[in-house]
């Protein structure tokens, strides 16, 4: 599992997500394929700026929540 942070070209918007296949998920964000989020489509957040590996889904979701709590 991976937690990842995307931004847009102006680097004014951040998107934090969790996936079990980072390469596939980034391709979905970039190409508008699969189940893409309205937020990421609207703000064109498709530049990966950070990711980290988590041993399991529970820890990845916990880390995502922690990151989303940042100001």
Please state, in angstroms and rounded to a whole number, the distance separating the CA atoms of residues 33 and 1. 20
The number of CA neighbours under 13 Å toward the Cβ of 49 is 14
Identify the three-state secondary structure at position 65.
helix
For residue range 8-20, what is the model confidence (pLDDT) as tens digits? 999 999 999 999 9
Q: Answer yes or no: is pLDDT of 70 > 90.
A: no
Model pTM score: 0.86
Helix (H) or strand (E) holding 28: helix 22-31
- Which pLDDT band, with edges at 50, 70 and 90, does 36 fall under? low
pLDDT at 35: 59
Q: Return the domain boundaries, the chain.
A: 2-68
Candidate from 36-40, 45-49, 55-59 with smallest mean pLDDT: 36-40
Report for 25-29, 36-40, 54-58: range of highest mean pLDDT: 54-58
């Amino acid at each position: 599992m991976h937690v990842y942070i995307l931004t847009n070209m102006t680097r004014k918007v951040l998107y934090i997500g969790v996936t079990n296949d980072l390469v596939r998920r980034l391709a979905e964000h970039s190409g508008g394929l699969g189940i893409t989020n309205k937020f990421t489509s609207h703000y064109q957040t498709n530049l990966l700026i950070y990711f980290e590996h988590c041993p399991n889904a529970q820890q990845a979701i916990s880390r995502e929540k922690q990151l989303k709590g940042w100001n």
